[in-house]
A = this chain, B = another copy of it.
């Protein structure tokens, strides 16, 4: 069987795009080519990158062509981890003028060495016993510095409203007032009490922090203390940290990836890494069960096409791995639920912070408004009509409007 190859697409500019692709193919693999003796060429051929093609988009004022180029790399050039992959296809190249990493097509031989999501969409749904609607998550109003009792009150209020998941703030590292394991135990107890009243489980995702070489231990301690899920800032820690968490058979809960720091990579047109690769394909590869990303709504938002491409990577059959739950976040209120459903479908998590806590009736009513909105949308009912049966939804629509 011929060795499979990794196909990488870049957006760049050059006098001659094809020549640039050829230079990258050599420069990022064997270093030099035309000056090698034939015997050496034969020896290094299996490691040589190859220029697959160039796709010009526009001619710039300086006479250069802007466009995408595709270079393929032998799988054998890499160890099966993201540090090797990113260093090998974009390490020094990232510093070589205007160039953006657009996409990486990974052969099965490479993908199969990665964990992928341990639970994925189906596994998370199993845990909650919910299969017929988008899930609902709420975020604490804030975590930093709050007394433990305030956090408990917040947790209970959100859970009572019927949310499926509650997550910590991603900035919650210094947690002396409500230490990691203690709050996991406390919220587990509250979740059990709420479930007794409502009949609904709720999964709490504490923010997994600590030294990178101790994260797996910390995760296991969290699970032992009763954490049913984990939140993790993947980019500040590096993809490989999530890879090792997901690959650990003793880590038996879903992992939710937060996009913190992603904006340092994706928004530039000329540099960095596209958001669909950064938060889509790569996070699924290393094992995120749920992926938060900026929603395409609101003032500062992800471009709609990019958000859809990102969500597409999380569920696409291109990767023979379980699917990750898309969690389009920020600026979400109940009136947006029909739009969310239209854009991201059934398999998504509706995620709100201000849209729950800012409800005039409080967080419980805020969550109830979302529950009603989700039920309506799944049943093909107009929100306005559903609001007739739900005072919290009516209040929410009056505050935030119906639609964008």
Contacts and interface: CB of A to CB of B under 8 A. Distances in A.
B90 A261 contact: yes
A92 B260 contact: yes
A133 to B, nearest CB: 27
Interface stretch (A23-31, A119-127, A309-317): A23-31
Interface residues of A, number: 73
Given A83-B236, A173-B88, A237-B83, A263 B93 contact: yes
A91 interface: yes
B95 A294 contact: yes
A28 B171 contact: yes
Contacts of A91: 170-171, 233, 236, 258, 260-261
A145 interface: yes
Contacts of A378: none
Query: Which residue of A43, A77, A174, A216 has the most chain B CB atoms within 10 A of its CB atom?
Result: A174
A128 interface: no
The 9 closest A-B pairs by CB, nearest first: A238-B238, A94-B263, A91-B260, A31-B142, A47-B145, A95-B263, A83-B236, A84-B173, A268-B268
B94 A261 contact: yes
Interface in A76-97: 76-79, 81-84, 86-88, 90-97
Contact of A212 (B78, B238, B263): B238
A30 B144 contact: yes
Contacts of A38: none
B170 A264 contact: no
A351 interface: no
